[in-house]
């Protein structure tokens, strides 16, 4: 028997996986396995016979117990199942996020993806999970929305230290569309806005120990949002923020180049 045949035998029935998991907990009689899995007598017999042929179980006093090989198979199966579950959970986000290949994957977190019936799900997810009393907020985004611009003022009033990166197109649009908010930002010591010449391709928010990553479509629509407290991802996000920020100039230096109506 080769490995692929053994894998196919195990995964070909949910009942066999259930039997393997139960035997990993404690030796069982066939009748106990039937009761706990609600599988038929024939299914239990087939599973135990197959396991025994492969050396995964041994029979002792009418109880079946995993051998060392069986325990190894169980452990490796659970690791594979967890890996597949993680891959499935993040697959849509990883497909749309432009820097997916650089991420320290796998990591823990939650994802919301836009669907035809819930196109605003990622945006709602992001705003609902933003902490209201953060000490520090760092981030950037390629798309300016009214809700995002208007959220800056209450964030400043809450005493949060804010550091943002805008590309030149975003900064110009923000100055022209929300001049009073931008004037407030430039007057406030706790807010620093950097302007970079290169366009920004995705969204990032680092709020204290939390990370938000955002992937956008070609029309600027938010396609997916990831929220995580994973320490490795936080470190990666901080490094990415520093990379994007490098070579920037302050909004105060950029603003005189952009005609806008000052509120002052």
**For the chain, how far is it from start to end, CA to CA, in angstroms?**
80
> Would 87 be classed as within a structural domain?
no
> The CATH number of the domain where 122 resides is what?
3.30.870.10
The token pair that represents 57 in the structure block: 């179980």
Q: Say if residue 245 is in the same domain as residue 119.
A: yes
Q: Say if residue 50 is in the same domain as residue 111.
A: no
Task: Let me know: does 208 contact 176? Beta carbons within 8 Å.
Answer: no
The token pair that represents 213 in the structure block: 């990553």
- Boundary residue ending a domain (16, 49, 77): 77
Q: Say if residue 58 is in the same domain as residue 101.
A: no
Q: Say if residue 117 is in the same domain as residue 196.
A: yes
Q: Say if residue 71 is in the same domain as residue 108.
A: no
> The CATH number of the domain where 46 resides is what?
1.10.10.10
Q: Say if residue 138 is in the same domain as residue 38.
A: no
Which phi and psi angles does 247 have, rounded to 5°? 75, 15
The token pair that represents 264 in the structure block: 């002052």
Q: Say if residue 112 is in the same domain as residue 17.
A: no
Q: What tens digit of pLDDT does each residue of 125-179 get?
A: 999 998 878 999 999 999 887 777 777 777 777 788 999 999 999 999 999 988 8
Which residues have a Cβ under 8 Å from the Cβ of 80 and sit 6 or more positions away? Answer: none
> Would 82 be classed as within a structural domain?
no
- The domain of 226 spans 97-257
Is residue 264's pLDDT more than 50? Answer: no
Count up the domains in the chain and report the number.
Answer: 2
Q: Say if residue 108 is in the same domain as residue 208.
A: yes
Q: What tens digit of pLDDT does each residue of 50-83 get?
A: 999 999 999 998 899 999 999 999 999 999 999 9
- Residue 209 CA to residue 238 CA, distance in Å, equals 10
């Amino acid at each position: 028997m080769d490995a692929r045949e053994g894998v196919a035998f195990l995964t070909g029935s949910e009942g066999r996986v259930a039997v393997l998991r139960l035997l990993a907990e404690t030796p069982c009689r066939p009748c106990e396995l039937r009761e706990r899995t609600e599988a038929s007598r024939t299914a239990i017999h087939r599973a135990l016979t197959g396991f025994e042929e492969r050396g995964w179980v041994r029979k002792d006093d009418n109880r079946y117990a995993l051998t060392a090989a069986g325990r190894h198979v169980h452990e490796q199966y659970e690791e594979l199942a967890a890996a597949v579950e993680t891959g499935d959970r993040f697959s849509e986000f990883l497909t749309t996020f432009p820097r997916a290949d650089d991420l320290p994957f796998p990591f823990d977190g939650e994802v919301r993806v836009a669907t035809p019936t819930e196109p605003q799900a990622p945006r709602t997810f992001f705003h609902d999970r933003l902490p209201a009393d953060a000490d520090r907020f760092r981030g950037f985004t390629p798309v300016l929305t009214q809700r995002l611009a208007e959220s800056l003022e209450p964030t400043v009033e809450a005493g949060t230290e804010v550091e943002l990166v805008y590309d030149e197109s975003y900064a110009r649009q923000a100055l022209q569309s929300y001049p009073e908010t931008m004037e407030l930002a430039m007057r406030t010591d706790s807010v620093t806005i950097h302007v970079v010449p290169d366009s920004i391709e995705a969204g990032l928010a680092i709020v204290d120990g939390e990370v938000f990553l955002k992937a956008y479509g070609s029309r600027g629509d938010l396609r997916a949002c990831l929220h995580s407290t994973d320490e490795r991802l936080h470190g990666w996000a901080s490094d990415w923020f520093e990379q994007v920020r490098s070579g920037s100039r302050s909004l105060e230096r950029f603003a005189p180049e952009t005609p806008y109506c000052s509120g002052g």
